[in-house]
């Protein structure tokens, strides 16, 4: 089974019927949905994305990437080169439950939490954890601007249930995920976007840890070279297919190309056994 482990449900960007169509066209049997946490992202010129990826993958230049990608208003919104992106403090989990209920054979769900929001993460987890299709918790220490250790109370609940925590870490203290690993060695932890923003430095910390995985999502953050290097370094068993839809490169219809990362994986790793692990088996094992 091929499963996209990382997709933000935002019908303003990609309507549900188009998502289902693209899943069928690309042979994606299931998609793990999470609430959108922001207004639709304006188009970013490819030269800026290429420059950011270059900065991020060179340790001496990473400070420039931080200046480019991690500027926030006092209200917590993200400052883009030519715009301000509104960030939602408390992403709504309800639409995910409704979508799963309507298409239980196609969708799974992440419960989004934010320890700096109005909704208590533990309460949010308890409210949604028993709904059909829910598989774990998603958190975004980068854009919600907090150190990952603030997730410990809800992470304890998630670990006790044997479910995974998918986190998008940030720079400096907002990227310090080690307290979660050290205090909860039984926690299944997935690091979004191939270990953004420290990539190879993060890979050194997690290689060989049987309870930590990297998802290979987000064309904006991760190119084919970085994805290949991540899999080569940490191993096939520690990597997962995710798209980061509906944000990224469009198809011919100008809506999101759900198959882009899948095709990248298939091209980089022609061995069918490796593809099987990356595209679904590893994630199925995590959520089983």
Please enumerate in sequence order all residues whose Cβ is within 8 A of that of 273, keeping only pairs 6 or more positions apart, or say none.
none
Query: What is the pLDDT, as a whole number, of residue 82?
Result: 85
Tens of pLDDT, residues 134-181: 999 999 999 999 999 999 999 999 999 999 999 999 999 999 999 999
Average pLDDT over residues 203-211: 96
Q: Choose which CATH entry (3.30.70.100, 3.20.20.140, 3.40.50.2020, 3.40.718.10) describes domain 3-36+93-287.
A: 3.20.20.140
Query: What is the pLDDT, as a whole number, of residue 43?
Result: 85
Cα gap 21→128, rounded to integer Å: 27
Q: Read off the pLDDT band of 46 (50, 70, 90).
A: confident
Strands 107-112 and 134-139 turn out to be parallel
Q: Read off the pLDDT band of 45 (50, 70, 90).
A: confident
- Sorted by where each begins, the domain ranges of the chain are 3-36+93-287
Cα gap 129→115, rounded to integer Å: 17
Task: Tell me the percentage of the chain whose pLDDT exceeds 90.
Answer: 94
Tens of pLDDT, residues 245-260: 999 888 999 999 999 9
Please enumerate in sequence order all residues whose Cβ is within 8 A of that of 159, keeping only pairs 6 or more positions apart, or say none.
165, 184, 186, 187, 188
Of 176, 188, 258, nearest to 217 (Cα)? Answer: 258
Q: Does the structure show a pLDDT above 90 at 44?
A: no
* Between 212 and 43, the higher pLDDT residue: 212
In the 8-state DSSP scheme, what is residue 31? E
Can you tell me whether residue 159 is helix, strand or coil? Answer: helix
Average pLDDT over residues 235-241: 98
């Amino acid at each position: 089974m091929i499963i996209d482990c990382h997709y933000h449900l935002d019908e303003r960007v990609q309507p549900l019927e188009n998502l289902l169509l693209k899943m069928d066209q690309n042979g994606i049997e299931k998609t793990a949905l999470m609430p959108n946490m922001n207004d639709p992202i304006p188009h970013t010129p490819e030269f800026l994305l290429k420059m950011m990826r270059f900065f991020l993958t060179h340790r001496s230049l990473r400070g420039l990437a931080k200046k480019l990608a991690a500027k926030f208003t006092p209200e917590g919104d993200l400052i883009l080169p030519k715009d301000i992106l509104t960030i939602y403090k408390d992403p709504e989990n309800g639409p995910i439950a409704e979508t799963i209920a309507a298409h239980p054979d196609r969708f799974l769900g992440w419960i989004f939490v934010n320890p700096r929001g109005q909704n208590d993460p533990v309460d949010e987890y308890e409210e949604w954890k028993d709904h059909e299709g829910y598989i774990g918790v998603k958190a975004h220490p980068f854009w919600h601007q907090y150190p990952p250790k603030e997730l410990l109370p809800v992470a304890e609940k998630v670990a006790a249930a044997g479910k995974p925590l998918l986190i998008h870490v940030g720079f400096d203290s907002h990227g310090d995920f080690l307290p979660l690993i050290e205090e909860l060695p039984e926690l299944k932890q997935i690091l979004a976007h191939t270990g953004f923003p420290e990539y190879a430095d993060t890979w050194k910390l997690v290689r060989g840890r049987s309870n930590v995985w990297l998802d290979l999502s987000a064309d904006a953050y991760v190119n084919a070279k970085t994805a290949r290097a991540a899999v080569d370094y940490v191993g096939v068993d520690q990597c997962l297919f995710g798209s980061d839809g509906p944000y990224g490169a469009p198809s011919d219809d100008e809506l999101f190309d759900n198959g882009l990362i899948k095709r990248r994986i298939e091209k980089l790793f022609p061995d069918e056994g490796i593809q099987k692990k990356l595209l679904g088996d590893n994630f199925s094992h995590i959520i089983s």
